[in-house]
Amino acid sequence: MAAYILRRLLLIIPTLIGILTINFLIIQAAPGGPVEQTIAQLEGLSNSAVPGSSGGGDLTASQNNNDSSYRGGRGLDPRLVAEIEALYGFDKPAHERYFQMLGNYLTFDFGKSFYSDKSVIDLIIEKLPVSISLGLWTTLLTYLISVPLGIRKAVKDGSNFDVWSSTAIIIGYAIPNFLFAILLIVLFAGGSYFDWFPLRGLTSSNFDELSLLGKIGDYFWHITLPVFASVISSFATLTMLTKNSFLDEINKQYVLTARAKGLTEKSVLYGHVFRNAMLLIIAGMPAALIGIFFTGSMLIEVIFSLDGLGLLGYEAVINRDYPVIFGTLYIFTLIGLLMKLISDLMYVAVDPRIDFESREQ
């Protein structure tokens, strides 16, 4: 197993390089880079904000292959255009910037943001606790609700409980999480009815002045509505996956044999069916976790003013902040690959009969 883990870890390196290379090439064809935006701003052709110069000197994170003669810069002094190119690191050929980027990324040096006086890694570390808070609680509650509910639906397949719970699940699945978030705000955050929960942020302004219990209570007070909105849109798929997985196992021959031996339904379900049925659910855990952490929470972060990684990535794409785009992409990909490896190890923990190492020989 150790050899398999080592091979998977070594495989991460070319995978990361391949993903970064593909996205680097795509960026070359994307118009409206930071240099073009700055030139347009100087010529009065754009309403976007002028980027600050504090983070522009880092060449490692510059990704756009803009020509040195910008169409929008024909009315400007060529020396000024050259200074703007150098400011964002576009005064070097694309292949030099590409290899310089790869070398720096191996040491987790992602450069500085174009639009703030902070390094990309500092921005990620700053936003990470918010996304972790939202993602962990959402994932935990989703599995605590979906797995028992899916098992119950499989056992009671076709019953009244199965029918009305399926109706509730379909309704929850049909409502987007951002729409449900707005509904929660209207109902419980001072919209039109009750003013029970705060609308903005993860903590109160006087958080540092509170006692330990006060801080814990304040944290959960703020996180309740965002987590609830995220769970509603996440648990439906997992519930039905759990039900179908258990139904498939319940109808197999070994279950009939176990019942014929006189084992109780509880022993059959949790002693035999559970281990096999949970394999499929465990396989989907890394994808679900990454999706909740970095994509599914973006709109929730925007609606509830939670300054996390989802919001950071969205703003970076809008502003063409290439260091942040590629830095977050690198981190997300690395975490996703590691989570996939953890998923394989969980496979083996649940069912020791699975041997990935022998399959590769």
pLDDT digits (tens, 9 = 90+) for 7-42: 888 888 888 888 888 888 877 666 666 666 666 666
Distance from C-alpha of 202 to C-alpha of 199, rounded to nearest angstrom: 9
Going from N- to C-terminal start, the domains of the chain cover: 2-105, 120-319
pLDDT digits (tens, 9 = 90+) for 158-175: 899 989 998 988 888 888
pLDDT digits (tens, 9 = 90+) for 37-87: 666 666 664 444 444 444 433 433 344 444 444 444 455 567 666 666 665
Give the residue ranges of DSSP H helices in the chain.
Answer: 2-28, 34-42, 78-87, 94-105, 120-155, 160-174, 177-188, 212-250, 253-260, 265-268, 274-283, 285-294, 298-303, 309-319, 322-350, 356-359
Query: pLDDT at position 68, please?
Result: 44
N-terminal to C-terminal alpha carbon distance within the chain:
12
Classify residue 111 by burial, with Cβ atoms within 10 Å: 0-12, 13-18, 19+: buried
pLDDT digits (tens, 9 = 90+) for 207-226: 888 888 988 998 899 888 98
Q: Which of 33-37, 253-257, 275-279 has the highest mean pLDDT?
A: 253-257
Evaluate whether the domain defined by 120-319 bears CATH number 3.50.50.60. no
Going by pLDDT thresholds of 50, 70 and 90, the confidence category of residue 296 is low
Query: What is the mean pLDDT of the segment spanning 78-106?
Result: 73
48: left (phi over 0), alpha (psi -120 to 50) or beta: beta
Q: Is the pLDDT of residue 252 over 80?
A: yes
- Write the single-letter amino acid at 2: A
- Write the single-letter amino acid at 98: Y
Query: pLDDT at position 47, please?
Result: 40
**Residue 77 in tokens:** 């002094």
Q: Global pTM? A: 0.70
Question: Range with the lowest mean pLDDT among 108-112, 113-117, 266-270?
Answer: 113-117
Q: Cβ distance 342 to 286 under 8 Å?
A: yes
More confident residue, 277 or 64: 277
Q: Cβ distance 50 to 38 under 8 Å?
A: yes
Distance from C-alpha of 62 to C-alpha of 91, rounded to nearest angstrom: 10
Q: Is the pLDDT of residue 121 over 80?
A: yes
Torsion from C-alpha of 338, 343, 344, 349, nearest 10 degrees: 130
**Residue 2 in tokens:** 């150790």
Look over the chain and give the mean of its residue pLDDT values, rounded to a whole number: 77
